[in-house]
Amino acid sequence: MNIRQLVRESNFLPMLAFVGLLSLYSWWTGSVNSPWILLIGIAAGMPHGATDLLSSSSPFNKAAALFYGANILALSALWFFWPGLTLGLFLVVSIIHFGTEDSLSRQWSWLHAHESIVRGSLVVLLPSLFYREEVIELFQIVSGADWSYLLDEKVVKGGLNVWFIGLFTLFGHAATQWSTWERVLQTFLELGLLVVVFRVLHPLEAFVVYFVAGHSLRTAFKLRDILKANALMVLILTGVTFGAAACYHFFLPEKLEMDSKMIRTAFVALSLFAVPHALWRTHVIFRKS
């Protein structure tokens, strides 16, 4: 692997391009954490998850469709009755999913688990470290619960210290398992780029950059043939998910401003699709190992 291939596989250029565009947008408009950026970003990043429901022999993968349906119904109920607990569940599942999917170790192993935890937890830790008050406000909007005690400065810094221990031990772990130095370099360059993204941009914009230009683009490139062949079905499934999340707001007892409602809609829609997708994909990884 040469440096050019390393940069291409790591999506450095798309992520940097997104950082530049969103920084310019924030400077031009004077606004940050735009709900429109979040909605558009999530809508652009979600379709790759719909490929779980497609089958080569029939219009639907029936097992995946039943699994998704059961999870969406359960999550909808959880969001209605216990939104704070559901947001916590969503964050834990997201850490596992982002870590396992972005890990360079493709099959289950202790190195895969180690790398997955380090990668996935960084996406949650960084915004809480750099923009703690904004994250608390966003979590309050999404769940209606007070997260200040869970995101206390001492808790966040303690979590970061544990993460650094995981990072340094990952360096040694990867160096003993991987035969090429490029894979070790790629891992640490990608983690370094995430630090830059989450430091330069505010939480919602930073998440959109990672979710679209990092996680989703990499996965969509692998699944490009399936996405092209089933483009209409993928778009319909994505639209239905947003519709279900939007309907959720008709039953909310509290009144929210439009921007807050859009932010909550985006996160609920993402969770309805992302949680079953994450669990299904993790199951596939374990089954292949």
Cβ atoms of 22 and 201 closer than 8 Å: yes
**Six token digits for residue 163:** 């993460």
The percentage of residues in the chain with a pLDDT greater than 90, rounded to a whole number, is 1
What's residue 185's pLDDT? 76
pLDDT at 3 over 80: no
What's residue 219's pLDDT? 72
| Residue range 37-57: mean pLDDT, rounded | 68
What's residue 272's pLDDT? 82
pLDDT digits over 188-240, tens only? 788 888 888 888 888 888 888 888 877 777 777 766 777 677 777 777 777 77
- The mean of the pLDDT values for the chain is 77
| Residue range 94-99: mean pLDDT, rounded | 83
d(CA 259, CA 246): 13
pTM of the model: 0.77
Of 256 and 83, which is predicted with more confidence? Answer: 83
What's residue 55's pLDDT? 61
Q: Which residues of 132-146 are buried (b: 16+ CB within 10 A; e: fewer)?
A: bebbbbbbebbbebe
pLDDT at 286 over 70: no
Number of domains the chain contains: 1
pLDDT at 105 over 70: no
d(CA 156, CA 168): 18
What's residue 180's pLDDT? 67
pLDDT digits over 122-138, tens only? 888 888 888 888 889 88
Cβ atoms of 115 and 187 closer than 8 Å: yes
The gap between the terminal CA atoms of the chain, to the nearest Å, is 25
Q: Given the structure tokens 């996935």, which residue do they identify?
A: 120
pLDDT at 82 over 80: yes
For residue 192, the enclosing domain spans: 3-288
